[in-house]
């Protein structure tokens, strides 16, 4: 942990070198006159207990990315209602050695879809690829915001179905279902009916990653909006652009979920413009 000792706030993940959270959050801290207290640290999931003890003694706040959003749960003292419902945490606030867990990914996707496509989540038909930590928080947000229907496609359909079952308890009005990501016929049907495709697996973080699905299926719906939570040019985003589909990467989601985290830590509304400028800076 020695490389993190100069920071009061961290983003942790495995990997984490790609994260733009430090320059984005530090821009917000600077705009608020609070210096540049935010860094990043790779944490092995097997070492989460050790990190939690370090955080209790040394940190004020943490953002968590893949694969830590559920790994952290046993080490959190108190969960916000949203985090407790979705059992996913992407933000920690540490006060007098006590760790509080929050989920701001829902706020992130709401802000991103509005910013990129001019749409509210209410009434949309959504196809979501993935059922991990971020997908869990997003699925709950889609339900809470009364999306018309949500189809969750995942490599493990059992995991997707378990997520559907959890969300239905809290949002019974939204029609929800699960399909195997490998079932091309079911995927084609979901794409044809969707207003919005959300790609929230980790595929795309690395150059060698395959596309999450057969990208030619995008041709089935010329009105589809495509959102990829990865904030780099992925095969999915490139193909969507070639087909003339409205498409966006994960930048605005990162900014809006980060803004919600910043407010949790400081009780100050951050400058979204400053965070956007920070995001565009070279990494640290």
- Residue among 69, 93, 193, 269 flagged as catalytic: 69
Which residues, including other chains, have CB under 8 Å from residue 237's CB and lie 6 or more apart?
A: 226, 228, 247, 248, 249
**What backbone phi and psi angles, to 5 degrees, belong to 114?**
-65, -45
Helix ranges (H only) for the chain are 21-31, 48-58, 68-71, 81-86, 105-117, 133-144, 157-170, 184-193, 235-242, 251-266, 272-279
Give me the residues paired with residue 154 across strands: 180
- Distance, in Å, from the CA atom of 157 to the CA atom of 146, rounded to the nearest integer, reads 23
Supply the Cα-derived Rg of the chain in whole angstroms: 18
Query: Within 13 Å of residue 203, how many CA atoms lie on the same side as its CB?
Result: 16
Report whether 131 contacts 163 (CB < 8 A).
yes
Residues 132/90, Cβ–Cβ less than 8 Å: no
Q: Is 166 a residue of the active site?
A: no
Asked if residues 199 and 218 have their Cβ atoms less than 8 Å apart, the reply is no
In angstroms, the CA 255 to CA 111 distance is 9
Q: Which residues are designated catalytic?
A: 69
């Amino acid at each position: 942990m020695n490389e993190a000792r100069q920071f009061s706030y961290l983003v942790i993940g495995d990997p984490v070198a790609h994260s733009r959270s430090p320059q984005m959050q530090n821009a917000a801290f600077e705009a608020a006159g609070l210096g540049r207290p935010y860094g990043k640290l790779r944490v092995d999931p097997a070492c989460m207990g050790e990190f939690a003890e370090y955080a209790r003694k040394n940190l004020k706040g943490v953002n968590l990315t893949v694969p830590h959003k559920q790994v952290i749960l046993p080490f959190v003292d108190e969960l916000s209602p949203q985090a407790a419902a979705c059992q996913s945490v992407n933000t920690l606030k540490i006060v007098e050695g006590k760790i509080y867990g929050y989920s701001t990914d829902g706020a992130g996707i709401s802000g991103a879809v509005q910013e990129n496509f001019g749409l509210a989540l209410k009434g949309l038909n959504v196809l979501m690829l993935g059922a991990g930590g971020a997908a869990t928080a997003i699925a709950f947000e889609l339900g809470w915001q009364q999306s018309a229907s949500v189809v969750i496609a995942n490599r493990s359909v059992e995991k997707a179905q378990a997520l559907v079952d959890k969300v239905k308890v809290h949002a019974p009005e939204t029609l929800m279902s699960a399909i195997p990501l490998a079932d091309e016929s079911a995927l084609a049907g979901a794409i044809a009916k969707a207003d919005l495709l959300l790609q929230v697996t980790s595929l795309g973080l690395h150059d060698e990653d395959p596309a999450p699905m057969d990208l030619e299926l995008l041709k089935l719906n010329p009105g589809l909006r495509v959102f990829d939570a990865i904030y780099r040019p992925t095969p999915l985003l490139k193909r969507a652009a070639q087909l003339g589909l409205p498409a966006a990467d994960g930048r605005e989601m990162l900014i809006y979920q980060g803004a919600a985290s910043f407010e949790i830590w400081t009780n100050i509304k951050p400058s979204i413009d400053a965070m956007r400028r920070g995001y565009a800076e070279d990494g640290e």
